[in-house]
Amino acid sequence: MDFSIYMDDVVGKAREEIKAAGYSELKTPEEVDAALNKKGTALVMVNSVCGCAGGIARPAAANSLHFDKRPEHLYTVFAGQDREATAKAREYFEGYEPSSPSFALLKDGKIVKMVERHEIESSEAYEVVNQLQDLFEKYCEEV
């Protein structure tokens, strides 16, 4: 099988999985700026094709939303695919090193907290769900 066809399939499935969970894709720097400069809370999932993204982060991204409080806006950028959009999003994550997969919680365009790759890859999906819901409890309003 041609590698590029294989990767298009893997990436396509990863994109669809996170969009089906309710996250909006940001594919350009302009889309990132427009989205992340909004008032309110936003969760940004930095998606990737690594095993911990598929086995832990994307399931956690979906399941964490079954909670009384959650961010007003849900976004995703795809590391290694939409490079310029991901780089622009990371400008908002001041104080944190680039990592993927990861989650960034922002309030009024400012970083509040990140759940970084090292916190994801060493965890079970339910543990990441709990981390995200703890952040939602602290920083988000009831929906």
Please tell me which residue in 21, 32, 52, 140 is annotated as part of the active site. Answer: 52
140 is catalytic: no
In this predicted structure, the answer to whether residue 2 has a pLDDT above a threshold of 80 is: no
Q: For 69, left (φ over 0), alpha (ψ -120 to 50), or beta?
A: beta
Q: Which two tokens stand for residue 109?
A: 């365009």
- Distance in angstroms (rounded) separating the CA atoms of residues 49 and 7: 9
- Per-residue pLDDT at 3 exceeds 70: no
Q: What is the dihedral of CA 33, 35, 38, 43, to 10 degrees?
A: -120
Question: What is the pTM for the complete model shown?
Answer: 0.93
**Tell me: the pLDDT tens digits for 7-60?**
778 888 999 999 999 999 999 999 999 999 999 999 999 999 887 788 899 999
Model confidence over 101-139: pLDDT tens digits? 999 999 999 999 999 999 999 899 999 999 999 999 999
Mean pLDDT value across residues 76-88: 96
**pLDDT score at 142:** 87
Domains of the chain: 3-138 (3.40.30.10)
Residue bearing tokens 């009831």: 142
Q: Strand, coil or helix: what is 69?
A: strand
- Which of 50, 60, 89, 129 is an active site residue? 50
